[in-house]
Amino acid sequence: MNLSLKTITDNDLPQYKQDMQEAFQNGFEEVFGKTAERILPEKDIDESLNTKGAVAYKAVVDGEMVGGAVVVIDEETQHNHLHFLYVKTGIQTKGIGYAIWTEIEKRYPETKIWETCTPYFEKRNVHFYVNKCGFHITEFINAHHHEPDSPDDFIGDGGDGMFTMQKRMNG
């Protein structure tokens, strides 16, 4: 697979957001069934894109946008965050997500720690981050252990909680 990671442009944004929302929606609905609720509201994507240090990438294979990621880079501490990583619906399990992650790691060799989170119910994501990418679960956010800045209307975890994960880099 010849995947390239490119910074998104304003022209990419509508399709990028739609593809990301669809991927998150389908992951949720595979477990919990159809819902009228938007699992990943556009305001959450915009908030991430507008975070200080945010960089948004699209993954391109054969001229087609197949996924993407939003990272937040802290040049001072090098404790960086992966806010979103998605693969377009219908083309998962082909190594695209791992190719995206590998390219991100290559772009930020000074990183000391990567941090991300994923819903407890997303077993495929947990497997991906822990077993493929080398993250370690560091916290379980749930009804008995709340995340202070989590929005009151957050439903993306299906009520099952979220894993926070870190990957300490060598160096």
Least confident window among 62-71, 121-130, 155-164: 155-164
CATH number, domain of 116, equals 3.40.630.30
How would residue 58 be classed by pLDDT, with cut points 50, 70 and 90?
very high
What is the model's pLDDT at position 149?
A: 60
User: What does the pLDDT look like over 84-107, one tens digit per residue?
Assistant: 999 999 888 789 999 999 999 999
What is the residue whose two structure tokens read 């938007």? 38
Sheet (strand 54-61) strand order: 3-7, 54-61, 64-72, 79-87, 113-119, 162-168, 136-141
User: What does the pLDDT look like over 108-158, one tens digit per residue?
Assistant: 999 999 999 998 888 889 999 999 999 999 988 767 666 656 555 554 555
Three-state secondary structure string covering 48-74: HHCCCCEEEEEEEECCEEEEEEEEECC
Q: Total domain count for the chain?
A: 1
Domain span at 153: 3-168
